[in-house]
Amino acid sequence: MNQQHVSENYNTRVKFLVVHYTVGDWQSSLDVLTKSYGQVSAHYLIPQEFDGSYKEKELEVYQLVDENLRAWHAGPSQWENKQGINDQSIGIELVNSSTCIYQWQNSTLDHRNDYLCNYHDFSPKQIELLIELSKGILARHPEITPTRVLGHSDIQVDLKSDPGPRFPWHTLYKHGIGAWYDDNTVEKYWRLFTTSQMPSIAEAQCALQTYGYGIKVTTEHDEQSFDHFRAFQLHFRPWLVNGEVDVKTMARLWALLEKYFPESLGVDGELLSECELISPTPEIQEVQQQQG
């Protein structure tokens, strides 16, 4: 094959970097991610310190799938206007025993209370290896912009909570990986929204959609809205994750839009993005009619 002439007209198929935790120790995680019965995989696996099932002396990064191949790590997922994120992403699994369990079928629980999560810290060396690995991935795939460095919970909000609120997104940002807001901009919008009208639910949903989340604009803080705002908080306000559309969450969202999508805001902070309004479900319409 003659490779003397190389075209300048190409780009990488990889646009997203997705971080996960494994829900298990090293050996069980490795087995699930590499054996056929697991039906799941990731491009990279990073072990954790003080794991009795990891027998090597030093932690190191393990590549399980070539970056040019499609790993099975994202499931039914969405970011921006793209679905099936497996096709366009690199997945990194961090060994961590955090868990979230769900009771979707329990009629006594509403969507705010039908899950139970136990989160555990990531080890310092593990995060150090992740940062080094991620820098290399970003250099090889320049289309992974800051807002495309994601957690599993960002792209599959109704089913996943990883890497969870103990994952150090801000630390990664300080090393040039991923997005974060500027505190002074958050303060600006917090003051604006507490002295004038806070964004409506529809505007909040549209703003979250503008940032990249797959939320629908319904004008109601419904279950899908709760799931998406909870995912946003897991990433950008991990010390208080309640899924509510409150003023401090809105201030952080608007600060991120100003930083990464400045064209979406007017000079006074008004949202300029236009989002398609999805008609309320018959159940919601009935409640609205009853409320007059």
Residues marked as catalytic: 93
- Answer for the pair 126, 95: CB distance below 8 angstroms, yes or no: yes
Which residues, at least 6 apart from 267, have a Cβ–Cβ distance to it below 8 Å? Answer: none
Q: What are the C-alpha distances in Å from 230 to residues 111, 154, 238, 242? A: 11, 9, 9, 6
If you write DSSP's letter for every residue of 19-60 in order, what string do you get? Answer: EEE-SS-HHHHHHHHHSGGG----SEEE--TT-TT--SSS--
- Answer for the pair 153, 185: CB distance below 8 angstroms, yes or no: no
Nearest-angstrom CA–CA distance, 156 and 161: 8
Helix runs in 117-200, H state only: 124-140, 152-155, 169-174, 183-195
Name the β-bridge partners of 149: 17
Could you give the 3-state DSSP secondary structure of residue 15? coil
Which residues, at least 6 apart from 94, have a Cβ–Cβ distance to it below 8 Å? Answer: 19, 20, 21, 22, 46, 48, 122, 126, 130, 163
Which of 224, 259, 256, 261 has its CA nearest to residue 243?
Answer: 224
- Peptide bond connecting 163 to the previous residue in cis, omega within 30 degrees of 0: yes
